[in-house]
Structure 1
């Protein structure tokens, strides 16, 4: 185990951290006892105390148990934008020792069908604007009950509607067969006694798999606690920290850093349902936000706001994130505007967010950081699997308390995803990295073909399989390509069938794709090509196409 990074470890911080044996629900329970009247959530002019938050969690849990008969181990679909209801739902599910399955709100009905069947889900809690995506699945999947909520019911009644995202201002729809959120809470049922354990399965976030099919990552209370408590100490949280919650909560980084960590510490959260740079500036000034975890594209947009100078953002003490390296020029612009250095980190769904973090007092730009508490990180040769040293490129493998319990119902892929080194099990991240002589890690390339578009992970095989449904497509190869706003975006090289040449355009295929897949997945760039480079066995050399696309982007 390489230990040079300890020379740059945050001052007055222990190098090891004992993970609590308590559960995530215990965190909320304890915090509500410590700070009952303290504001937990600010949401578009309205505020909710920890006491109120816990009361609604208990009421929802009681309804789910008494009426829907939710029991320990049941998988519950949580399909919702950032909102107080997301967190109330999350903890109500955990209160029953059931399992949260949080899904990207941009998913379409076809995506949801897979998740419901994969986990045999019977119950879903959804935002009103997403209801029409879920409703048809009651007839074709295991889904039986849908609980629906309107975000508008949690905002302040006098909030200026023009400032709100459209999802929050939608008129209430009529439900013919399912249940409104308020109907559930007003029942005020009491759930049975809580006896949660740290090893209870708590949440299954999905990530893309080697076959293109998503894989559920099994996380217990213990693995999630490891990073919740780690983030609390590493990022200098206190009970008076005020967190700007803009990253999506269905995603592991947003969930851990912008919700679970502040709840562990009794901090306050300012929740935005959708990203809005003007609203972000306003709430930072209004609520004196101190901590903000984001992705680079969000920060780039924030700093590019011509109105930024009109907002007082001097309360900010810590800004950081991951998903994609932050351009050096943006990091310098942030420092010049705030005096703060961007604190980058690295992690995966399999590790419920971070395995690496830059030390707050000595961060490096475009750097994954150093291994966090009790994490054994190594770089192995792709062929020999031997351990490599500084400035050698290899695959990052990790072993630590935050590493997941394995993929749900994926026995074969669980074996492929792990490796034994010195009698210890390591998770293979699939990312090619390099370490400098100070023990800082840097991303070199992705062993996997994953595309990271504005923090959303896109698997090319899945996009290709959908493109093949277009009658004009003979062959498709999807790669990543640089994008100023998204960091990376989706590009598709397509060979058109002879009969369609001259009759179909790149723009037409892009518009068709928008209707076939989630908004973050569809190709933003299409390039028609006559033939693909292939191996002697006929396999498409996608890396060669990707390099071709990247070089053409740079020359534009």
Structure 2
């Protein structure tokens, strides 16, 4: 089917607030992503690239260490071009080094959430066909059971404290300061031993259209799917953020959004490397550490999610810090409440600039113009992005002013889902000969071309910016011996925006009935913390339609009406 969606295209629509002096088209480098590291190291060899609790890694040191990692992957681990390699750590110098080391080896980065448990990691390993992984020391217990004949053959274990050679007055979390522990078990190698091997990699062979990064996302079917991104699509979001916000080599970014998530990856890591800017890393959110870093390192930009901003502006000590170096604060994932945005502007004099993107687009397709942002707004389509609204049933255009499903065509859109042709086919629609990604998000467009979210087509809970897919949580909960059936929905939460709620039908004839807290505790042991139902309600039965399917939307509507 080739529906007609005649919404005006971005290049023909009047954008009154497009970034001044900039073209609507963005010329992208036709290069391997690692070339950005080579350029920065050549231009600014002694300039700090990563600052981690007062410890500095220069661009030249970064390139040299990343190349050693690539050589080790090739020579010791047998990694070939196109092989997938898992990356499981908190934000750290090692995360960035491993990412670019994998790329330098012409392999594919599979970033995973460090909150994932063993069975979640098993799916990524098996689905991606990964035989090698990088993991932080504190996360090794979750990864190590996957090492063996039918699983991982090599796991490189990083200790965050190895990058804490210089003294610091900043408060360092215990898991970061922890000393290196001896490794026990087959297939394990210490990060320091990898670097000490001083392996030299072969020449880079990958080009802009080869796979580079494969983040996983879930959906209505429950099992996460790998989003296939090339060097070109990853390069797109790195370059467009630098261009849109007019960043230079003197940019200092507070990089605290997690790098495994595409927003932090594109804006907090890949962008600064492309520009030759400096990243100030925090492995986890800490409002006092963040404020101190802004003051100490003269941070110019802070990329955040709503919960971080709420926490920051609520800090009773916030006026003790000098935040005057900030020139931009941006984010996405969940709409920023107007009252919080107002408090932030009162504190810093800056508007919170929101954007919109997804794993399938490796971050932003829409951003608010910095000179005229609108609150609780997705923004306008970026360079070379054709974004339209269609009727999700007919796939035709919607009348002006009416809501419709957002579809996007642009250079940052993924190639498809890894080894899942059916899901790929369902994710795209052809309009006027162009391939558009269906986002599953409903929006309206105002008279100036700004997009505003109105609803979702997909089942999804947005908890503090983390996407939780109910089908995935339900599938895991059905392994609980006392649970006959579960339906997961979203519930309002004053801090997280939304939180996860599970309606649970227990099995008949149980000798001992679990409490809601028992269910929550079990979930904590078996899934990432952000997916765990914070609310568990026992019910006698779940409503069903004529086909026997659970009427989850009915339950969600009842919850929304409370």
Q: TM-score range by the shorter chain?
A: over 0.9
Q: Please report how far the alpha carbon of residue 196 of structure 1 lies from its aligned counterpart in structure 2 after TM superposition.
A: 3.3
Does the Cα contact within 8 Å between 1:389 and 1:435 map onto a contact in 2? no
| Residue aligned with 1:470, SS | coil
Counterpart in 2 of 1:47?
56
Shift of 1:430: 0.9
- In structure 1, the partner of 2:177 is 169
1:5 deviation in Å? Answer: 5.0
Change (3 A) 1:464 1:501: farther
Which of these residues, 110, 114, 126, is aligned with residue 105 of structure 1? 114
> 1:25–1:91: 8 Å Cα contact kept in structure 2?
yes
**2-structure distance, mates of 1:16, 1:504:** 58
**Pair 1:58 & 2:67 matched:** yes
Q: In 2 relative to 1, CA 298–70 (structure 1 residues): closer, same or farther, beyond 3 Å?
A: same
CA shift in 2, pair 1:51/1:544, >3 Å: same
8 Å CA contact 1:116, 1:141 repeated in 2: no
After the TM superposition, which of the residue ranges 211-220 and 166-175 deviates more from structure 2?
A: 166-175
Single out whichever of 334-343 and 470-479 deviates more from structure 2: 470-479
- 1:400 is matched with which residue? 410
Please, which of 481, 500, 524 is the counterpart of residue 471 of structure 1? 481
Bigger mean CA offset, 386-395 vs 38-47: 386-395
Aligned match of 2:395 = 385
Using the alignment, how far apart are the partners of 1:224 and 1:290 within structure 2?
A: 23
How many angstroms apart in 2 are the aligned matches of 1:347 and 1:46?
32
1:31 aligns with 2:44: no
Are 2:220 and 2:459, in contact at CA under 8 Å, matched by a contact in 1? no
Judging changes above 3 Å, is the alpha-carbon distance between structure 1 residues 139 and 66 closer, same or farther for their aligned structure 2 residues? closer
Structure 1 residue 247, shift from structure 2 partner: 0.4
- Relative contact order higher in (CA < 8 Å, ≥ 6 apart): 2
Match of 1:197 in 2: 207
Partners in 2 of 1:136 and 1:5 — Cα distance?
A: 56
Aligned counterpart for 2:297 among listed residues 275, 281, 287: 287
User: Residue 21 of structure 1 corresponds to which residue in structure 2?
Assistant: 30
Please give the alpha-carbon distance, in whole angstroms, between the structure 1 residues aligned to 2:144 and 2:272: 34
Map of 1:90 onto structure 2: 99
Query: CA 1:142–1:285 in 2, change beyond 3 Å: closer, same or farther?
Result: same
2:72–2:194 CA contact under 8 A, matched in 1: yes
Match of 1:349 in 2: 359
| C-alpha RMSD of matched pairs (Å) | 1.5
Question: Contact 2:254–2:302 (CA<8 Å) still a contact in 1?
Answer: yes
Within 5 A, what are the aligned runs for 1:143-542? Answer: 143-160=152-169, 163-176=171-184, 177=186, 178-500=188-510, 503-542=513-552
Contact 1:113 1:141 in 2 (8 A): no
Q: Are the counterparts in 1 of residues 207 and 231 from structure 2 also a CA contact under 8 Å?
A: yes
Q: Give 1:500 shift.
A: 4.7
Pair 1:142 & 2:151 matched: yes
> How far 1:499 sits from its partner (Å)?
3.5
Query: In the aligned structure 2, how far is the partner of 1:166 from the partner of 1:151?
Result: 10
CA separation in 1, counterparts of 2:427 and 2:390? 14
Q: 2: CA distance between counterparts of 1:389 and 1:219?
A: 33
**Offset, 1:333:** 0.7
Structure 1, 418-427 or 171-180: larger mean CA deviation: 171-180
1:79 aligns with 2:88: yes
User: Shift of the alpha carbon at 1:509?
Assistant: 1.5
Q: State the TM-score, normalizing by the size of structure 2.
A: 0.95
Contact 1:8 1:362 in 2 (8 A): yes
Secondary structure of 1:475's partner? strand
Rounded to whole Å, the distance in 1 between the matches of 2:252 and 2:269 is 11
Q: What are the Cα deviations for residues 47-75 of structure 1, in whole angstroms up to 9, with x where unaligned?
A: 11101111111111122222212221111
CA distance in 2, matches of 1:229, 1:290: 18
Gap runs ≥5 in structure 1 = none
User: Which range moves more in the overlay, 469-478 or 321-330?
Assistant: 469-478
> How much does 1:503 deviate?
3.5
1:334 is paired with a residue of what secondary structure?
helix
Shifted more, 132-141 versus 183-192: the winner is 132-141
More deviation, 299-308/348-357: 299-308
User: Displacement of 1:527 after TM fit?
Assistant: 1.6
CA drift at 1:140: 6.2
Moved more, 396-405 or 379-388: 379-388
Please report how far the alpha carbon of residue 259 of structure 1 lies from its aligned counterpart in structure 2 after TM superposition. 0.5
Question: Conserved in 2, the CA contact under 8 Å of 1:490 and 1:522?
Answer: yes
